[in-house]
Structure 1
Amino acid sequence: MDILSSLFGFLLALCLTLKVHSEEAVRCGGQVDASEAGYITSPGYPLEYSPHQSCQWVITAPEPSQRIALNFNPHFELEKLDCRYDYIEIHDGNSEAAELLGKHCSNIAPPPIISSGPTVFIKFVSDYAHQGAGFSLRYEIYKTGAEYCFRNFTSLSGVIESPGFPDKYPHNLECSFIIISPPRMEVTLTFLTFDLENDPLLLNEGDCKYDWLDVWDGLPQVGPLIGRYCGTKIPPEIQSSTGLLSLTFHTDMAVAKDGFSARYNMTYREVSDTAFHCSNPFGLESGRISDDQITASSSFYDGRWSPRQARLNNDDNAWTPNEDSNKEYIQVDLHFLKVLTGIATQGAISKETQKSYYVSTFKLEVSTNGEDWMVYRHGKNHKIFHANTDPSEVVLNRVPQPVLARFVRIRPQIWNNGIALRFELYGCQITDAPCSELQGMLSGHLPDSQISASSARELHWVPSAARLVASRSGWFPHPTQPLAGEEWLQVDLGLVKVVRGIITQGARSQESGGTSADNRAFVRKYRLAHSLNGNDWNWIMDTKTSMPKVFEGNTHYDTPELRRFEEIPAQFLRVYPERWSPAGIGMRMEVLGCSLPETTTVPESTTPTPAPTQPNASEPLSTAASIPPSSQEGVCDFEQGLCGWTLDPASSLVWALQSSNRTTEPGQDPALGSNSLDNYLYIETGDGAEAQRGRLLSPEVGADMGPLCLLFSYQLEGPGSLRVLLRNPHLEETLLWALKGDQGPVWKEGRTILPRSPKEFQVVIEGLFEHSGKGHIWIDNVHMSLSTPLEECTQPFAAFPPDMKGGALPDGSHPTLATRSVPPMPPNWYYILAGGGAILILATAVLTVAICSQRRQNSAQKSLPAAYYSPQTSHYPRGGSGRLGPDPALTVWLDKEDGCSHY
């Protein structure tokens, strides 16, 4: 009996031990550090997971600005049944209360998941039955590609490549390349090689699912999308004249290919006031329009009558639909908004049967986005164009009223034997006409802050939505049916331009899905007012009636209308709707014009200088135009443009060019320049304005150049700040010079050392208004000098306020990015320190005597300390003595910018 009892006890202990070890073996969950990539699996994976599991993981990225990417192994198996029993949940945060990104089960692996923040919460649950193989996922920091591919290009020509080219590109990229051209220049983008991951189920061009390249006519996500490309087919050549051409590159977590390489070139457009003709062929016959830009409702089944064969004078058949019907059409995507003035058509003779086919009449349809179409009208009726009477003759039809369109459709109405069509389109670009540069509404060159209105209805219909073509909605004023002339839409061009025309377009709200006529609005008639300063306004007048001119607006919510008028100088332009559609006022617009004559000259140099009439983004240091040593001694007085300096389009304020004959003030140092400062750059703010800043970026300064002395003239009036920073190739910025507070309405000089650097760098001049109030900052005579002694480059000047401390660098010092300048101590400080030390010793002695005296009297109360002076803080904690300090001087700081700079 004792033996049996002992054996039973041993077996019971063994079972309990095995149970404990089994529970320990399937234990799961915990905190996960995503500093390095790793894997999370269900217990036992790839074998069956255990029942009764409830595992929780929290994955955390090391930096708060980082995101986490999850990629599941295709071998994924959890019990089905609507994810009620076994499942995995992913939450966008650090707990189960965070937003649910997905709940998954079955045997289909979830798609890649990317968090919006630095943490992800994962929960895995299993019940008592029907286990599967489970899951395995890889976690890693989501890479946006900032270290590879956020670059701007402003040189006359260059090459854009995918990161790592010609090697395979990395995963998880969101890249951006922006080509910025000066006015009157056209950008041509030609792809040399192209190999991106291809979707084998790709049905239509642009239906890319994994990796793709988007090309934008303007800033990414702002300007119209020209096309989306993937696979191995080289995209067509692209020409843009809007001033901005952008590429965005997206890759996923899986397959990586060799990527792409493209060359761009900028060329001047010859614009003639006398020889302008808007009748150029768009390129169907020549092949400039690619096959991918020509599509149709259908084509004949044998493949010998496809849309690409619809080119004028093509000798191999033509386009024929699968069925002869007036519902069939052929369509061309011109990639950009263009002026259509004519259509030439031709029939065809079948090479197989020798039978003749041609179209006798057709209708024309146009669109700006490929979705909203308008049938071209002549008067109130649809226009019927009379085409061919035989298969070979070319018949040219002029469009009675030229129309603006990107997409063009020809819809045959009557035909002979069957539909067969070859054709060509004629017209021109909007910018081909004299003084007709697009001023930045369509491309995004004009920031949202420069578009305003009398009122706005809702968040989606604000003034910034009034961009021509690019916006999917438009501006709607708050009243649905206001009084005529009561509401207005205003554009601030940034500085005075020559304005010559305006393009208006209707708008579509998102109510009722955006399909009913009730939310398709446009303006039928309007008046225009212009101003040089935003306060004093003048109407554009009708020369016949001497009254404010009433312009004809739109008759359709999608089709733009262009209206020209006599050239006027203006910085501000307002549109006052007078009559509108039954759905109310809805508007998108663009302004046409050019630079004032004195600001349009581009200096003859190896570096293109954008005219200072539009904000230009900075060029990357690897491709920016360098400043040669011979040009370091030149003074940029802005008489011939920006001298290679560029304007930051991300700034809320834009440096504008101003012509002035202001003379130097009494007492001004004559060394600051001549008695007249002609052209200069300025930014200004008014009462009630929010915090704003404007940034000016220099051309690239070459490696191992210097140290240099940066000299510049400035005015700082009002509650502003002026700073000079140094930007390295990684876009990290270092504060060199700072000035804060009102300096009065006089020109003064600033100086600071540009240290020698082993890498290229740029100089950033930044004007900042942190508080409301009227003020301005002016900049002129910017000079990077090799000859100015460094001792003179940091001497104190009367330009700096008394609360700015510092001094010159020690003799013979040569600062670099790795050092920090140490200001010498002015002589009067030695007397101050000596006096302060004596006072401190005396105070200590007095205090010691007082304490001893109190101890003798057994008193617990301590005596009050005597007044003292601290050389560390430069003020008196007690007492009424005034503040002591040295004469005002400049401090050269080489600390890395951290957002908490001290002035």
Structure 2
Amino acid sequence: MGCSGGLRAARSALLALLLGLSAPPWLQAEKLGDGCGNMVVYQDSGTLASKNYPGTYPNYTVCEKKIQIPQGKRLILKIGDLDIESQKCESNYLTILSSSTIHGPYCGNVMPVPKEIILDTNEATIRFESGSHVSGRGFLLSYASSDHPDLITCLERANHHMKNEYSRYCPAGCRDIAGDISGNIVEGYRDTSLLCKSAIHAGVVADELGGQINVIQQKGVSRYKGILANGILSQDGSLSDKRFVFTSNGCNKSLSLGDGFIPNSHITASSSWEETSEIGESVQWSPDKAWLQVQGISWASNHSSHREWLEIDLGEKKRITGIRTTGSTMLKFNFYVKTFIMNYKNNNSKWRTYKGILSNEEKVFQGNSNHGDLVRNNFIPPIVARYVRIIPQTWHQRIALKVELIGCRIMQANNSFTHPMWQRPSQSTGVAVGKEDRTITEPIPSEETSLGLKLTAIVVPVLVGLCLFLLSGICICATIRKRETKGGAYGSSDAQNPGCWKQIKQPFVRHQSTEFTISYNNEKETPQKLDLVTSDMAGNSYIF
């Protein structure tokens, strides 16, 4: 029995192997979606790439993704890169399908690949299919709504642009695309750096959302210093002819130095470590050592737990757009915080945890990877609060931290800090109002209002004068009628009710008359001239 059972199992395995080898490629393909790589999709833009991009995409896979933007807008697609090993697009190709058209298939060098495709609809299906091949990066494309005709892909670099100043729209999802950047937000970026990835590194846009960037090209520098910021590590760079910077929103000042140094009593901690030095002296790693501007050791907690925190009181509610951190800064004490979360509150309110842009989960920030290097994280949207707490989540050896908060006072902030997704419409005007910026203001007279008051002061007396003039004319007419009734009627029936206006014969000389011109729709007709007759002429200047 054992021998026959083993023989049957061997036959079944051999049959399965033969069927697998003889099966057509579409049966050998992996399940739908296995060919998809980096994909970040937001309501107004996104980025899609094949699996392993820019490495070789796998054999026998399919990637199919439906993308959609809000109704009433047109879909713009830009293909940043396409390298598919196929000459006839039979088993390796990319197609873009909308409700009315099919774009593609695209592959190899069979047909030119358009850099930009504009659809008449707000949705499309991207389909990438691979068969057997040896090489090929696959594809990378970005999309956005027709609100952003200046869309670029994640692969565009600053040296692709010749203008010294320009504005472009970065799609969501450029952070994890392969490609180097060199420099930092303070000194600028080398012109060979990827634009959108640099913008995320600088905290200008969030990777989850994308957004508009404003770029200024300047003369290059001899060296570019790389740092870790917003989850992206920029590289050190060498001399270049040009560099670029992003226009500042004005809310990136040090909050510990901008309005005078914050008192030591305004920075507290859950606990502090007391070190005994080699010579027996007591060294306090107290909270006041946590300021980044203060030389020497940092703050360090006495315990290693998730309940430890460092709290800063800014004295008043402020707009906090970022944070810079280091570890202990001491070579012999390799202490640092790897990840942390942020809590914040205002007067008489409860602590709240800063959450992700598109989720309701707490945002975990990437901290330091050694004791000395500086790391920056930006808050998009910004935190508006008086009190903040940094709560370490993971650390190396011991919790140790130096910090600097970046931001500005509320009155210095402008509307660019509030993304439409964090605004709500005003009930009275329908204008979006930020939750943290509800301010009651008194109406201020504008220039138009002042001009209206001046015109009113001129026009009203004129109108009053005209009314008095017309009233006087009516009284004069009434007096004339009364006199004529007493003196006898004219022979013509028309003369019995002549009124105050009559056409005057040319031989008569006009006395104290006022001339009016009446316009006609028919240009061939000659304007008729009428005279206002005074009481002195009333008895002898009417025509019967």
TM-score bracket for this pair, using the shorter chain length: 0.3 to 0.5
The structure where helix makes up a greater share of residues is 2
Q: Which structure is larger by alpha-carbon Rg, 1 or 2? A: 2
Structure scoring higher RCO (CA < 8 A, sep ≥ 6) equals 2
Compute the TM-score of the two structures, normalised by the length of structure 1: 0.21
Compute the TM-score of the two structures, normalised by the length of structure 2: 0.33
